[in-house]
Amino acid sequence: MAKSLISSQPFRLEELIFGLTLVYAGIVMYDAQVLMLTYLFLSLSIFSLILLNW
């Protein structure tokens, strides 16, 4: 059992790194969308505040 685990470990490690890279890319994409939405919301609220102060 231990020998087979050691012999198959590099493939599992590569799969793990690949999966983590995919998850990290997904999180970065999701964070970018959230940041864009937050930036749009903040700019819109600031713009409406400026309009209301006029």
Integer Cα distance of 28 and 15 in angstroms = 20
* pTM, entire model: 0.46
**pLDDT tens track for 1-54:** 455 555 555 568 888 888 899 999 988 888 888 889 999 999 999 999 888 887
Up-side HSE of residue 5: CA atoms within 13 Å toward CB? 2
Handedness of CA 33, 34, 38, 44 (dihedral sign): positive
Integer Cα distance of 25 and 42 in angstroms = 25
